[in-house]
């Protein structure tokens, strides 16, 4: 079994997340994509984030009918900050026969040396990095080669057809009373309206 992990605050979950998931599913020939909403991400200590259980339920409903997608509540239930290496240790223990792929953007590759227990992360999964606008090809390749050399692990680079949607952009549109129905799954838009999320 080959499963890809996509983590994030998903605040809110949007079509860009679905786009990345399906691209990864096909290009990495995965059996499943596992969405893992973060509980307390250490890199967002000072930012206001929507309550974890709400974010979890919104994602759960959005992928309800997607047979290749599943959701995991480990980081939501976990006390304290959520570190990637701990999540991977948990998943590897729970499903020892699964080959895990950690799917992230190129910004994560550039910052990975600041992550906790990088060697454990790269031991427990294959790192699959989507190339996004904003970084030069030489810059990306240099970082990839550097990390591969330090940890003796291969990193997979994946070109992603551009779909530039961000949660912060969606939140800003909601604050300004603008339409977001074309940016998020139908159920997410309904939940945002019902729960009055992201309105000042």
Sorted by where each begins, the domain ranges of the chain are 2-195
Give the pLDDT score at 44. 58
pTM score, whole prediction: 0.94
Contacts of 174 (CB under 8 A, 6+ apart): 180, 192, 197, 198, 199
* Structure confidence by residue, pLDDT tens digits, 135-151: 899 999 999 999 999 99
Please classify residue 89 by burial: count the beta carbons closer than 10 Å to its beta carbon, then call 0-12 exposed, 13-18 middle and 19+ buried. middle
Q: What is the DSSP letter of 100?
A: E
Fold of 2-195: Rossmann fold (3.40.50)
* Structure confidence by residue, pLDDT tens digits, 40-83: 666 655 468 899 999 999 999 999 999 999 999 999 999 888 89
């Amino acid at each position: 079994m080959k499963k890809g992990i996509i983590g994030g605050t998903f605040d809110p979950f949007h079509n860009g997340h679905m786009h990345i998931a399906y691209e990864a599913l096909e290009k990495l020939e995965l059996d499943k994509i596992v969405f893992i909403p973060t509980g307390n991400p250490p890199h967002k200590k000072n930012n206001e984030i929507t309550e974890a259980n709400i974010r979890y339920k919104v994602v759960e409903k959005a992928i309800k009918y997607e047979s290749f997608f599943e959701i995991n509540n480990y980081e939501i239930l976990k006390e304290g900050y959520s570190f990637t290496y701990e999540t991977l240790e948990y998943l590897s223990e729970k499903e020892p026969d699964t080959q895990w792929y950690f799917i992230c953007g190129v910004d994560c590759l550039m910052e990975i040396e600041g992550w906790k227990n990088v060697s454990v992360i790269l031991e427990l999964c294959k790192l699959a990095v989507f190339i996004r606008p904003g970084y030069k090809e030489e810059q990306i390749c240099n970082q990839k080669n550097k990390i591969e050399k330090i940890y003796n692990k291969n990193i997979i680079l994946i070109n992603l057809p551009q779909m530039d949607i961000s949660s912060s952009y969606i939140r800003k549109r909601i604050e300004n009373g603008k339409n977001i129905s074309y940016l998020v799954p139908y159920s997410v838009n309904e939940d945002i309206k019902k729960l009055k999320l992201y309105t000042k």
